Structure formats: C-alpha cells, structure tokens
Amino acid sequence: MFINFWYVAAESGEVIFGAEKPLKVQMLGQRFALWRDSKGVVRCVSDTCTHRSGSLADGRIRRDCIECPYHGWTFNADGACVRIPSLGPDAKIPDRTRVDAYPVVEKYGLVHVFLGDLPEAERPEILPIPEFDDASWRFIVLKMDWQIDYKRSVENTMDPAHNEFTHPTHGFLGVREDYKVDEVTLIDKPWGTGFLNRMYAPPLPNRDMHEASGRSGDDYATGGAGNHGPNTTWTYIHISDKAWMHGYAFHTPITEKLDRIYVLFGRNYLTDPKYDNTIQQRGNFIAEQDRYVLEPVHPKLTPSHNAHEFLVPADKAIGRYREYCRDWEERGWRIDVAKVRADEDRVAYAIPSPGRRQAKSWVMPAIPVVAAPERAAARRRSAGQE
C-alpha cells in the first residue's frame, strides 16, 4: 500500500450535510473521520485523538469542528486543536496537539482524499474521465468489497489473456486452436501505463445490448486497459464503431487483503436510464467472474519479485505496472505493513499529511515506510549497476 495518492473514502451521499456525527472510514489500514462543514465542504482528519487516543469519528461535529467523545478535545478542519475543556476557556493550546488533516476533492460523485504529504504541485491528478460530463454518455456506479490485495485486481484489469478463460462472453474458453494474444504495445504516461489491442470476441449475449451494438456475430473489437497510480485503472471496450463502454475503477485498500472498489461504468449507447439495471447486472456479472479467480489466488499478496511468477509477453503491462510500483517504493511511499502490523496494539500511526511539511513536532508518529534507499541500492546491485 502506498501513501501520496488519492483514495476514495466514500460516495458523496454518504457524507451527510448537517450530520451531528462524522463518518468513520478505513483506508490503507488506518482510520479517518469525515464530515461536511457549514458550507458543505467535506473535511477529513486522522481518527486518533492526540490526548488519550479516543476515536474522533465516534465524536460530534460542533461549529465546523470535530469533538472527541472521550474528553471533549476539539479539532478544526485543518487539524489544529482549538479546545481542551479541562484547561479552561482561556488556555493556551500547544501546537503539537494537532492531528493530521488531508486534502479532499469531490469528483464524479465520490469523495477523494489525498493520503500523503506531497505539496499540491507535486501530487498526481485524480484519474481523468474526459467523457464523464459528456451528455452523450451515461455512467453508473458499482461498489464492491473483495478479499484480495488490490494490486491483484489492478493487474487483472491490465491482463488481456485472462478474458478468453475468465469471461466466456469476452472469448471462447480456449476452444479455438488459433487463439493468441496480439503483441501488447504500451502507452506510458507519468503515472502509469496501458494499451489498446484488437480482440476477437462473440456478440453480446444480452438482446438489447447486442442489437444496439450493431454487431451480428463473432468479430474483432478493440479493448484495452491501464493504470493511473497504484490504485486506479481505466478499461476501454469498443464493441463496434458506435458502441463503446468505458470503466474506471478506484481501488481503496481497506487493509492489505481487503479491497474496496468503486467502478464508474460508462457507455455511449443505450443511454436511457431505463437500461441502467441491465448495465449494472452486466457489470456485476463480469466482476463476479473476476472475483471467482482472484480471491483464491495464493499467495494473497502480489509477489515482491517477478522471479516468483513466470511472466509472458501478454503480461507486458503487468510487468510495467510493477516497475512503476517499484519506483514509488523507492521514493519512500510504500507503507511498511509488517512494521505496522507488529505495532498494532502498541502504536497508533498516522498517514503524514501536507501539514507535516510546515510543522515538525507531532504527537502521532508518521506511518513507517519501506526503507527506500536500501531497496533502491539492492535493486541496482542485483542488476549489476554498482
């Protein structure tokens, strides 16, 4: 799991304006409190109170601030402690009592939280969806919790070879003797890679979708996928010249083995809302086929080294994704999950927020990350570069 990326904390409708209590969520194995201020803006802070470790998300919202239910310590939207009742109304409150507060953006009907300390100019953008506001497109939202390492699902999305066997509606279950994955040509971007390939596929089984697609039988379609950061993906399925489906998946690892997936599933045909249920059933049906093969995968966690899996040319995008993840690890962004797990009952860590770039003294220790320089040096040595 990586810091310094955007993660979906909730759907916008789950953070209720005027609610007396905040919303408690878990991301990257850590807990957070979300609420809307008096202007309707969503706020997010680390859950643990700096006094005696009370859960802020179990407290109350008072005058745009969040109040701990244990001793009433109160924090504003920037994470500063503004009231310690036991000290009286005129007490000087030490700056060190602050909690981490995180940037929040509402986009696509989702609440995105930036979990990291990068300044705004250096942060990756939220996964772009150019057609989201296009009136000729219609989107629905799918939400799923899977018992997997989220990276397994990201790699599955970028795997053109699995369609033939995992999704019978996408391929022919391997019965065609001439089956082969076309060469994958990668399209690299600053925060990820991807590809678009031809794929031979049967017609859509649903009558309405089949008729609207303009395809009558087995034929070539264009399909592709890619990643944006470690936890978001795009998928394009162009069934014909006039029938396109685009899926955008936002993965939020609740823990290292629990993935919450928000999928924005769009189409430029059958855009009447009456077809939403048909499209939702189709999306869930395909997703369950992926879950069927992913949840039993062993080991649960993606191997740390490619030597432990034998990759072939069809896995080219997956290998490139792993290279991006290695780079982010070497920047010091990968959480040391083993250390966090070992300290679980003794230490409450916090994902470092941008505020830690200005203030250096904090009660809550920053979550430990994998020692980047040592890992980078080890990789260079293994490659014979040192």
Q: What confidence tens digit (pLDDT) does each residue in 135-149 have?
A: 999 999 999 999 999
Mean pLDDT value across residues 262-286 = 94
CB within 8 Å of 285: residues ≥ 6 apart: none
Cis, bond preceding 299 (omega within 30 deg of 0): yes
How crowded is residue 245: how many other Cβ atoms within 10 Å of its Cβ? 22
Q: pLDDT tens digit string along 72-94? A: 999 999 999 999 999 999 899 99
Sequence-ordered alpha helix ranges (H) in 331-364: 337-342
pLDDT confidence band for 276 (50 / 70 / 90): very high
| Contact by Cβ (8 Å): 376, 385 | no
| Mean pLDDT of the 269-280 span | 94
The per-residue pLDDT for 144 is 97
Name residues whose C-beta falls within 8 Å of residue 235's C-beta, 6 or more positions apart in sequence.
157, 223, 224, 225, 246, 247, 248, 249
Instruction: Give 85's contacts (C-beta < 8 A, 6+ positions apart).
Output: 71, 72, 73
Mean pLDDT in residue range 128-139 = 97
Burial class (CB in 10 A: 0-12, 13-18, 19+), 179: middle
Is a pLDDT exceeding 70 seen at residue 317?
yes
pLDDT of residue 180: 81
What is the pLDDT at residue 221?
A: 74
Residue 42 has pLDDT above 60, yes or no: yes
Mean local confidence (pLDDT), 173-199: 86
User: What is the band of 267 on the pLDDT scale with cuts at 50, 70, 90?
Assistant: very high
Domains of the chain: 5-122 (2.102.10.10), 138-323 (3.90.380.10)
What does the block give as tokens for 50? 């700096």
**DSSP per-residue codes, 7-18:** EEEEEGGGS-TT
State yes or no: pLDDT of 374 exceeds 70. no
Three-class DSSP category at 347:
coil
- The CA distance from 251 to 259, in Å, is 6
Residue type, 18: G
- Looking at the chain, the whole-number percentage of residues with pLDDT higher than 70 is 91
Q: Is 151 a residue whose pLDDT tops 70?
A: yes
